[in-house]
Amino acid sequence: MTIVLEAKNVNKSYSVGRNNEQSVLKNVNLQLQAGEFVSIMGPSGCGKSTLLYTISGMDKMTSGSVAIQGQEIGSLSEERLAQLRLSKMGFIFQQSGFLKNLSLLDNMILPAYMAKRESRAVIDRRASELMQRTGIAGLANADKAEVSGGQLQRAAICRALINQPDIVFGDEPTGALNSKASDEVMAILTELNHTGTTIMLVTHDAKVAAKTQRVLFMLDGRIVGERVLGQLGQAELKVREAKLSSWLAEMGF
Ligand SMILES: Nc1ncnc2c1ncn2[C@@H]1O[C@H](COP(=O)(O)OP(=O)(O)OP(=O)(O)O)[C@@H](O)[C@H]1O
């Protein structure tokens, strides 16, 4: 097994007021193996999003270390870290964050422009393949206000994949979707994982987490439990969900 991400003793505090610090992540340790599909659950405010942003280098940790494919992110300049994020990682958020005056296509290829590695033709071809794969071919020129939440989230997946990342992070990627659209987005992410992409997502939804291979449970800035579910076979989804829900109840969720 290859470790793609290793976090050691990660702490994160925010300044509150003039002299106060709020400790949000407390000595978090975790490893992500290549090809894993992991979810993070836990009560609101326990630090799930902060963990995701800190270990992906979007936000700075207060202390500790994070290595992505063996590279310590704390030792990188802002510019090299930005390049690492652009080339190795994709991000999907609860709200797409797409810009209003750009088409879906222009929004989804922005990270490829920023990475400055490929020609427009190559980028457009990949965008077109991704739109096919996620079932939104034909929406390239649409505005975000003209499409459904599920379609917009598929476009957000295309944006996350435009630079062919090794790791995809999702912060409640299905949080704003109805159950059908949520299932469809999870089917796309599961298929993506089957092609080798490592995925880590934050979710409140046991049905979503039941489709991942390993669930981490956070409480008050710490990972306090882990449930390994293994590979997903459709027939056992209900059983996985029931087992996960009873474990979560034991954990006090
Ligand atoms: N930029 C910030 N400045 C100060 N405090 C912050 C900041 N971001 C998050 N926090 C605080 O850190 C704690 C953890 O927030 P975080 O968003 O990581 O929790 P979460 O588990 O993802 O919550 P939710 O499930 O509600 O999204 C909260 O108390 C929050 O108020």
pLDDT classification of 234: cutoffs 50, 70, 90: low
Q: Give the Å distance between the CA of 45 and the centre of ligand 1.
A: 5
Counting Cβ atoms within 10 Å, is residue 159 exposed (0-12), middle (13-18) or buried (19+)? buried
Q: Is the pLDDT of residue 8 over 70?
A: yes
Q: Is the CB of 240 under 6 A from ligand 1?
A: no
DSSP summary character for residue 177: S
Query: 75-120, pLDDT tens digit by residue?
Result: 999 999 999 999 999 999 988 899 999 999 999 999 999 998 999 9
47 lines ligand 1 (CB under 6 A): yes
Tell me which fold the domain 3-250 belongs to: Rossmann fold (3.40.50)
Where along the chain do its domains lie? 3-250
Q: Which two tokens stand for residue 246?
A: 């009873």
Nearest alpha-carbon partner for 114 in 71, 152, 144, 84: 84
Q: How far is 51 from 197, CA to CA, in rounded Å?
A: 20
**How many angstroms separate the alpha carbon of residue 98 from the centre of ligand 1?**
22
Q: What is the pLDDT of residue 3?
A: 97
In whole angstroms, what is the distance from residue 151 CA to residue 93 CA? 14
What is the chain's mean pLDDT, rounded?
95
- Integer CA distances (angstroms), 17 to 49, 54, 105, 189, in order: 22, 22, 42, 40
Element (DSSP H or E) covering residue 64: strand 63-68
Residue 235, pLDDT > 80, answer no
Task: State the Cα–Cα distance between residues 146 and 51, nearest whole angstrom.
Answer: 33
Q: Looking at the predicted structure, is the pLDDT value of residue 156 above 70?
A: yes
Query: For ligand 1, what atom is nearest to the CA of residue 14?
Result: 4
pTM: 0.95
Ligand 1 touching residue 44 (CB < 6 A): yes
Please state, as a whole number, how many other Cβ atoms lie within 10 Å of the Cβ of residue 138: 9
